[in-house]
Each structure stands twice: as C-alpha cells, then as structure tokens.
C-alpha cells in the first residue's frame, strides 16, 4: 500500500553563481506533518536552497512541486498563494508598526481582493480579531499588541515573524534559522511552539542549533558543498561517518 504523497518535492535544483555551483542537483521532499531539517557547514548552500524553494531565486535547472502542482518558474507571491511560506534568517518585520498592525498586514496580504490603507484595516474588526487569534496561537503576549515591533525583545520578534509566516495558513513552511540570536530559554519556547504546529503543515527547517534540530526533526538532510550527502532519521544522521567527516572542525556539532 502506498504511503502519503509529499507535500513539497524538489527535483534536481541547480544554481550557479559564475563558476560557483551553489546547489548541485538537490532533491528532497517534505511529507505531511513532517519536520525535515536541512543542516550543513557554513557555505554549504542552505540559504541558496531556501531562496530557490521560496522563489526568491530562480534555479538554473530543476523543478519544484507543491501538493503535486508544478511551481517551477512561479514567483514568491504565487508560491505563497499556493501554500508555501517562509520565515527569514534576519527578522523581516515592519518595525515602526505595532505587533497587531504587522499581523493585520500579513493577514490582509493573504486575502485576495482586500486592498486598502491602514485606517481601513483598523476598522475591520474581523481582521483585528484574526490578528489577535494568530498572536495567541503563537504565544505572543497580549500586552505587546500595541507596541512597535522594533521595541520587542529579540525572542518576541522571532515569534512575531513566525506568526507572520503562518498568516497565509501554509501547507509547507520554510524556516530559515528561526533560533538565530536567541538565548537558551527563548530557544526552548520557540522549539515547543514549532513542534506544536507539526499536525497542521510540513516544515523544512534550516538551523545551526543542533539541539533544536535533533529535538524537532523527523528526518535530516545534510548539505555539503551544494550537494545532499545523506538523508535519514536523527539517529541515522548522528551515526553516519560521512556526516561526521563533513562536520569535522565544527566543535562536535553532532555530539
């Protein structure tokens, strides 16, 4: 009996920057309810691959399917509309707007045909209630809703960005180093939040925090010099000699 079909399927993605082969025929899948982690040494091509999947960069070769639909050649907006969303390595917020306004903007952008200025959004109680519901879902403190995003502690900014990525109700979420710059307690809280979202979507997680990766991931792929050298369960990856070799000099990243 056949198992479930992949939500996301990348096939042979190639991207060159001059003579540099940044991604070398990369293929991977994200299954329903799965957190598939992508790890690798600095410069391995992880961010390039995320850009290719999200539509920020166009590949030189290869294809991308989401729920069986071919998205090759489609831009970022079309991919978000199809159910593919992402968070960013560096916080990507409207810093001068409040937390609620950031959420309302993201929710409005996910609703076709709902144009208008901020005053109209503020008058839309349904949109405001949806923003508050999304904030609760992502464990953002209700007391922060009127604060400018730029005044939030770093951990709360990352949670807000995670909420913005969820505004379009994606089927697949690309997480680009969500723990970057977080302290241990903040990392634990965001790890729990990401894990709680697992039943709703598939996720591709790029992260340097190996404790978070091995805590969250159902499968892990290892990218080295633009090529995936291993894919397996966390236990399989931890024991793989090729992976250990790739991480030599990374201060025992897989220990």
pLDDT at 119 over 80: no
Give the residue from 217, 164, 201, 172 showing the smallest Cα distance to 64: 172
Give the residue from 73, 71, 99 showing the smallest Cα distance to 83: 71
Mean pLDDT, range 37-42, rounded to an integer? 93
Where residue 1 falls among pLDDT bands split at 50, 70, 90?
A: low
pLDDT digits (tens, 9 = 90+) for 188-221: 989 999 999 999 999 999 998 999 999 999 999 9
Token output for 71: 């998205």
pLDDT of 227 reads 95
Cα of 36 vs its chain's centroid, Å: 11
Q: Is residue 244 within 8 Å of 229, Cβ to Cβ?
A: no
- Give 155-179 as a DSSP string: HHHHHHHHHHHHTT--SEEEEESTT
C-alpha 184/C-alpha 193 separation (Å) is 14
pLDDT of 251 reads 43
pLDDT of 91 reads 55
The H or E element containing residue 35 is strand 35-39
Token output for 90: 């560096």
Where residue 174 falls among pLDDT bands split at 50, 70, 90?
A: very high
Q: Is residue 194 within 8 Å of 161, Cβ to Cβ?
A: no
pLDDT of 87 reads 79
Sketch out the chain's domains with CATH numbers.
16-93+154-246 (3.40.50.300)
CA quadruple 248, 253, 254, 255: dihedral sign: positive
Give the residue from 122, 124, 57 showing the smallest Cα distance to 86: 57
């Amino acid at each position: 009996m056949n198992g479930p079909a992949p939500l996301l399927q990348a096939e042979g993605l190639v991207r060159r920057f001059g003579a540099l082969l940044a991604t070398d025929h990369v293929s991977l899948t994200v299954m329903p309810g799965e957190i598939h982690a992508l790890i690798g040494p600095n410069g391995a091509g992880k961010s390039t691959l995320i850009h290719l999947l999200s539509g920020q960069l166009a590949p030189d070769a290869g294809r991308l399917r989401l729920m069986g639909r071919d998205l090759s050649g489609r831009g970022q907006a079309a991919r978000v509309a199809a159910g593919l969303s992402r968070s960013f390595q560096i916080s990507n917020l409207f810093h001068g707007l409040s937390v609620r306004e950031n959420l309302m903007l993201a929710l409005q952008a996910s609703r076709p045909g709902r144009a208008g200025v901020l005053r109209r959004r503020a008058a839309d109680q349904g949109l405001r209630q949806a923003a508050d519901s999304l904030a609760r879902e992502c464990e953002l403190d209700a007391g922060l809703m009127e604060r400018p995003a730029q005044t939030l502690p770093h951990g709360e900014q990352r949670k807000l960005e995670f909420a913005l990525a969820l505004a379009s109700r994606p089927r697949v979420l690309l997480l680009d180093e969500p723990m970057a710059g977080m302290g241990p307690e903040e990392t634990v809280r965001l790890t729990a939040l990401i894990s709680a979202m697992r039943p709703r979507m598939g996720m591709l997680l790029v992260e340097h925090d190996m404790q978070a990766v091995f805590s969250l991931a159902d499968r892990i792929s290892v990218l080295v010099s633009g090529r995936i050298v291993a894919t397996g369960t966390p236990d399989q990856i931890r024991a793989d000699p090729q992976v250990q070799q790739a991480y030599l000099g990374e201060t025992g990243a897989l220990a």
